Amino acid sequence: MTAVAVIFAGIATVLHVFFFYLESIAWRKPTTWKTFGLASQADADTTASLAYNQGFYNLFLAIGANVGIDLVLFSDTHDDIGWTLIIFACASMLAASLVLISTGRSYARAAAIQGGPALVAVVAALIAAN
C-alpha cells in the first residue's frame, strides 16, 4: 500500500502545482479563465486576487504532500511525520473537492480531478501507516 499511497499522493501533488500555476500565474489568460467558467476578461481581472490566493493554498498543500512523500521514501527515522503530512495534505485536498462539489453539480468533474487521487492516497496511506 505504500507504493499506492505515494503514487497517488504524487499525482495529487502534481495536480495542485498545476492548479497553482493556473490560478496564480496564468489566471488572466483567456484559455485559463474560460477553463474556470468565467465569461470575460473583466471577470478574470476582478477575481484575480482571489485566484492568486487560492493558487498559493494549492501550492502549500502540494509542498506538504511532497515533503511527506520524501520523508516516507527517504527517511528511516521520520516516516511517521511523512505519513502525517501525506494524510493531512491529501485529506485537505479531498475536503476542498467536497466543498467544490457542494457548490453545484456542474463542478463534479473538477471535484473528481481534484479529490480523486487525494482520496486514494489518504485511504492507502492510512492502511500503509499502520
Contact 85, 68 (CB under 8 A): yes
Task: Note the residue count of the chain.
Answer: 130
Nearest C-alpha neighbor of 61 from the set 89, 82, 86, 81: 89
Tell me what the mean pLDDT of segment 15-33 comes to. Answer: 98
Extents of the domains making up the chain: 2-128
Tell me what the mean pLDDT of segment 8-14 comes to. Answer: 98
The burial class, CB within 10 Å (0-12 / 13-18 / 19+), for 69 is buried
pLDDT band at 15 (very low <50, low <70, confident <90, very high): very high
Tell me what the mean pLDDT of segment 103-120 comes to. Answer: 96
Q: Which residue has the cell 480531478?
A: 113
Residue 3: all three cell numbers together: 507504493
pLDDT tens digits for 46-96?
999 999 999 999 999 999 999 999 999 999 888 999 999 999 999 999 999
